[in-house]
Structure 1
Amino acid sequence: MKKWLLAIVFGSVLVLGACGGGDDSADKGTDDNADSGTVDSSGAEDIYKSNCSSCHGQDLGGGAGPDLTKVGSDHSADEIVDIIHNGTGSMPAQKQVSDEDAKTLADWLSEKK
């Protein structure tokens, strides 16, 4: 009987320990509130992967499109939004990207310096 009770207690400790209980959102350092001055990096990365990575590479390193690892040193967020919506050079306009997604993506890319 003692072994059974010990197994129940030990199992409960493992389950409760695995649950954590911490607030992971505080650790991410991201916030989609534009007024706070932070960038929603996770959301921007998802938008990038869905719309841009096939040409600009998974790691922003380029491919069919140019390297974007330091695009923020050449373009502001507003300029990047304009490029996304209207295209430039051989890049076509990305009409499927919403204004909100373009802004999120541009804010994130403009930090790449």
Structure 2
Amino acid sequence: MMFIFLLSACSQGNNDRLMASSSATPEDAKAVVLYKKQCISCHGVDLSGKVGPSLQEIGTRLTEQQLMDIVHDGRRGMPSFKKIINTEEIKVLAQWLAKN
């Protein structure tokens, strides 16, 4: 079994939405780390949104490709991350978000 441990910096609030299950893939683990490093300050510890919109159930509203495009190019106040994280990391993050 694979377990993903939460960073102590994210101890506030409910972290359950970021916890991957015991069936999590290595890509899920990478995505959680990326989310915590790059997204949590605007989208919240539990994906509920802060400065940025909620990402809870974002996969029901946007496709994986749409999510990749938004992270890569930015949109409506969200900056582009193409110079911050590489294309493979953007893909891993988009795949994970699409499942949420």
**Pairwise TM-score range, normalised by the shorter structure:** 0.7 to 0.9
User: What is the TM-score with the length of structure 2 in the denominator?
Assistant: 0.74
Determine which structure has more spread, i.e. the larger CA radius of gyration. Answer: 1
Offset, 1:97: 1.4
Structure 1 regions of 5+ residues with no counterpart?
1-23, 33-39
Amino acid paired to 2:23: G
In the alignment, does 2:66 pair up with 1:72?
Answer: no
Q: Does 1:31 align with 2:19?
A: no
- Determine what percentage of the aligned residue pairs are the same residue: 35
Higher relative helix content: 1
CA distance in 2, matches of 1:78, 1:90: 19
Residue pairs, 1:24-103, within 5 angstroms: 24-25=1-2, 28-32=22-26, 40-94=27-81, 95-103=83-91
> Counterparts of 1:30 and 1:62 in 2: how far apart (Å)?
23
Question: Alignment RMSD, CA only?
Answer: 1.7
- Give 1:58 shift: 1.1
Cα distance in 1, alignment partners of residues 43 and 49 from structure 2: 4
Please state how far the C-alpha of 1:100 moved relative to its aligned partner: 0.9
Q: CA deviation at 1:43?
A: 1.5
Q: d(CA) in 1 for partners of 2:99 and 2:43?
A: 17
Output the amino acid matched with 2:59. G
Cα offset, 1:50, TM superposition: 0.5
Q: TM-score, normalised by structure 1?
A: 0.66
Deviation at 1:70, TM superposition (A): 1.4
